[in-house]
Amino acid sequence: MRTLGRLLALFVISITTQAQNIIGPQEGFTPKIGTMVSMLNDLSNRVEYTVKDLNTEELDFLMDDNANRIGSLIMHLAATEAFYQVYTFENREFNKSEAKQWQVAMSLGDEARETYQGHDVNYYLDIYKSVRQKTINLMKEKDDAWFASVPEGYNMNNHWAWFHVMEHQSSHLGQILLLKKRLPKQ
């Protein structure tokens, strides 16, 4: 039992060295939005920490014919967040130009496996961070009443939509961690 306790302590230490360790309101945001921003940023920090040292070959690694590449998954996270930006802040879905820009990354699959390879980690992280910065800027303009509101014609409030972005990132971070563990030994 003592060994299990030590392993758990090591696991918690490794997770918290990448985390901010405080979930709550942030300066410049209303309380509930600030709390969500703290969670979103904690997850994006974990994604960035997990991939920051990967080379192009590792980002392009394909575990099998049905798997996603790590680079594709980073693009998928950016694309999904970009979708929820227009969905919640503008009450619409992607226009034709946005759909063209993000559709491959949104869908993943064969086309994404083909499209997202040959790039270094900064290529992916620059896009990912740019999308997140836009989210932060847009969130600063909103209040908790907006966060709780359900846009006309929609079936979810804005809080749930951004909770979904957060849980989506967490889920795909798990995939990225699995793929990273399966990388061929150099």
Res 179 pLDDT > 60: yes
**Which one-letter DSSP state was computed for residue 6?**
H
Within a domain: residue 186? no
Res 48 pLDDT > 60: yes
pLDDT of residue 17: 46
User: What span, in angstroms and rounded, lies between the C-alpha atoms of 80 and 65?
Assistant: 23
How many Cα atoms within 13 Å fall on the side-chain side of residue 13?
6
Res 15 pLDDT > 60: no
CATH of residue 93: 1.20.120.450
Q: Are 156 and 150 in contact (CB under 8 A)?
A: yes
User: What span, in angstroms and rounded, lies between the C-alpha atoms of 44 and 13?
Assistant: 18
pLDDT of residue 185: 86
Average of per-residue pLDDT across 68-89: 97
Within a domain: residue 148? yes
The range of the structural domain enclosing residue 57 comes to 2-181
pLDDT of residue 131: 98
Q: How confident is the model at residue 4 (pLDDT cuts 50, 70, 90)?
A: low
User: What span, in angstroms and rounded, lies between the C-alpha atoms of 122 and 128?
Assistant: 9
97-143 pLDDT per residue, tens: 999 999 999 999 999 999 999 999 999 999 999 999 999 999 999 99
Total domains, the chain: 1
Within a domain: residue 99? yes
Q: Are 127 and 76 in contact (CB under 8 A)?
A: no
Within a domain: residue 50? yes
pTM of the model: 0.87
